[in-house]
A and B are shown apart, each in its own frame.
Chain A
């Protein structure tokens, strides 16, 4: 079976500085993968490149999504094809109402899938259902996108949009950063509710604690631009106990 996402020997740099130095990662449909690593290891760069941010130069390797060359697609094309990035720092859009934003986003994705656009009433119904699912304060839907939202509200809003857009591949970029334990739990509940056999997740995180709530099928450890160790969920626990230094020491002995 063709994997949903296949990253092979991916190299990338920003302003001549090499960040990714040969990443390999394969994600099949329905799987949840956690990518862990210390600060500066290249985790967020990987997320940014998958979403299509142009600040990075891909200098080698390939990324195939549903058998197609992902790197050839525009940002909005990837989104319409079902790649969703939950931002580490969601962007504020002053004056742009949540519902207007969702209407354009949802209907452009639906149009691409050959579905009828949702009318205002159905959209509102869907929004209400999803808001409940991830415990989003309903009043936030009446505000401008992310404007004046607290850190936790912004992160929850990302998961809310994930629910609305129904992607095939969802990448969560440090969704746990800056959240207290209650907010973390409710964001994780939302994600778990959205885990289905036809959707895959790549969860990028620095800490193990998010993985207490979103239990991954696979854990990958990224150090210095490479995935140096992969395993099951128990790998995350080992990391929590022994720290990244342990991995560094263990892998530096092995030639890259």
Chain B
């Protein structure tokens, strides 16, 4: 199912960084732990950055230093609990690892394999995902190439960030940091200083991208995902649907992930960004899980533009993520559809920000949180209508469902209305699966486990329906697997 060439996914499988060459005298693949200006310079030279890129990184780093040195600037406001991160105890660069982690599948965590099995992932891919040596790499290079040619004819640029810096410096310089400046927050500053790679996408005026662009299968780029940077620019009247993530739980050595995603939508452009996040959540006690601190933001820069975020969050020990839209153009539209499922000791603090600047802008927020085990699941969202944003409209709905009596579900919306013509509506509910609903299903022969799965996926239906079709099928399956073992 993953590598079905019939699907319209573009798998950026073979975008390995080797072609860009490594500074020969730097033998080590992984930098020693710690962060200072020399490390930034080293990363930059490994990436063969142009001077402007190095300068950009250094500026971000110097800003980050001021934040890191001030105890008050360390982000603490989210409803999360975790030990403070020692930023000097992390290695900030690791070359794409060609060495396998394991020699055979027998060495891999059987729990992980069972999940692969239920997802129907072919054996070869299981090995890839788990980091096991594979003899024959799936023939995806040609797939990528075929798609690239087709996209190229339309003038669409879709490549790694490193390649974009090299080949499209004007576009990168114009847009990079324009939506998420390095001064935005602690982790945005850190990412700008040390980011290793990511994706770049440009859709020229009037072009409707004929396929879903995807980065979800970049397995051989493992190790570069830690500080990823994505930039999507949709020029006037263009359309693109972009997919991020992978339904399979990816084992990962990096505990801290601080990615940045920037989207720019020009006049009448539309960008749809879908995510499935299923990073390693840690063991039952939450040990070893990924800290996922992502800054995602889009700007509806032109009139009539639209940015839509859809996400299914089931992974990571801690998720801290607020995909946002700045509605600058008049009549622009922002959307946020989210399902966050937490179990075990997972903590998620996620939501969105809709900043209304232009007139007649509208935004919709639909968020569904499901908590199980001893997890905590928070929605945190901001709707701000600025002084000059006439006739802004917002509708928000945040529903939480609790599966078990040791978990938490929280809703923290912020509504800031500075213009009287705004119409802002927020609704939230928290409840558990109704006993009468379970009884009804039981009476039709459906077991309690299956009934809960059925009812929970019904609860999320509105959001999953927003995902591109094949992705939605994967998402449903993933959700069912996650629910397995967390209820009953």
Contacts and interface: CB of A to CB of B under 8 A. Distances in A.
**Is there any pair of Cβ atoms, one from A and one from B, under 8 angstroms apart in the complex?**
yes
Interface of A: 51-53, 74-76, 78-80, 84-85, 87, 90-97, 100-101, 104-105, 108-109, 112, 144, 161, 165
B252 interface: no
Given A105-B441, A108-B445, A108-B450, 14 more contacts: A51-B443, A53-B439, A75-B442, A79-B445, A90-B440, A93-B458, A96-B457, A96-B461, A97-B461, A101-B454, A105-B445, A108-B447, A144-B458, A161-B444
Nearest to B445: A79
B462 interface: yes
Interface of B: 434, 436-437, 439-448, 450, 454-455, 457-462
Contact of A87 (B440, B448, B457): B440
Given A100-B454, A105-B446, A108-B446, A95 B462 contact: yes
Given A93-B458, A95-B457, A108-B450, A79 B440 contact: no
A236 to B, nearest CB: 27
Contacts of B450: 104, 108
A10 B92 CA distance: 73
A90 B447 CA distance: 18
B445 A52 contact: no
Contact of B445 (A87, A93, A100, A112): A112
Contacts of B460: 95
Contacts of A101: 441, 444, 446, 454
Nearest to A164: B444
A165 B445 contact: yes
Contact of B444 (A94, A105, A112): A105
B442 A52 contact: yes
A75 B441 CA distance: 9
Contacts of A51: 443
6 cross-chain pairs, A with B, having the tightest CB-CB distances, nearest first: A95-B458, A95-B461, A96-B458, A75-B442, A79-B445, A105-B444
B434 A91 contact: yes
A88 to B, nearest CB: 12
B8 to A, nearest CB: 23
A85 B443 contact: yes
Given A91-B437, A100-B454, A76 B459 contact: no
A92 B440 CA distance: 9
Nearest to B463: A95
B454 A76 contact: no
A97 B464 CA distance: 13
A29 to B, nearest CB: 20
A78 B457 CA distance: 25
Contacts of A78: 443
A104 B448 CA distance: 12
**Among B434, B437, B444, B445, which residue has the most Cβ atoms of chain A within 10 A?**
B445
Contacts of B445: 76, 79-80, 105, 108-109, 112, 165
